[in-house]
Amino acid sequence: AGCKAKGQILLVSEGKAQMNIVIPNKPTANEQKAATILQHYIKMIAGVQPLIEKETGFRGEAGIYVGETYRGSKYYSKKLAPEALLIATDNNNIYLKGGSGKGIIYAVYTLLDTYFGCKKWSNERPYIAVNPSLSIPKGIEDMQAPAMQFRQVYFPATIEDEFLDWHK
C-alpha cells in the first residue's frame, strides 16, 4: 500500500486569487504587518493581489487566516510562546498564527520560504519562485518555537530588518 497524498489547497489558479487574507476585526500591528507582507509576496509570486478583509466582513468559502481570528482560534486554541509560529491547513483554509511577539510575522516568512519556495539569502532582494498557480498541501501542522530568547549574529545582512524577520 502506497502513501496517499492529501491534496492541495489552491491560493491562486492561473493568475486568479482563489481566497483572500482574513485578519481579526481588531488586528494588532504585527497581524496587520504580516497580512500586508503576505499580500505583497503573493502578488510577486503569482501576479495577483488577494484582498485583506476583516473577519466579520468575510463571506468567502475559504481563507488565509492571519493572527488571532475566531476561525483560527477554533482550529487551534492553545496560546503560543511570543516568538513561536504555527502554519496549519485543513481541507480548505490556511491558518497562520504567532505568539504575542513577532511570531505572526515569522509565520508569514516561514510560509514563503518553506512552502512557496522564496528565499532570502542576503540583504539583497529575495528570490521569488514565480508561479501563476500557488498551492499548499492540505493537513499541515507546522509548529515552531525558538530554543532561545535572543541571539546575536555577526553577518552583514543582519542590518536589514526583513532579513532578520525572515530568518526569525
Question: What is the model's pTM?
Answer: 0.86
* Position 154 pLDDT exceeds 70: no
Per-residue pLDDT of 59-84, as tens digits, reads: 988 999 999 999 999 999 999 988 89
Residue 167 confidence (pLDDT): 59
Residue 1 confidence (pLDDT): 45
User: In Å, how far are 29, 75, 109, 118 from 78, measured between CA atoms?
Assistant: 21, 10, 22, 29
Per the prediction, the chain carries an average pLDDT of 87
Residue 2 confidence (pLDDT): 43
Per-residue pLDDT of 111-147, as tens digits, reads: 999 999 998 887 778 889 999 999 999 999 999 987 6
Neighbours of 159 (CB within 10 A): 9
Residue 158 confidence (pLDDT): 53
Strands annotated E in 106-161 = 134-137, 141-144
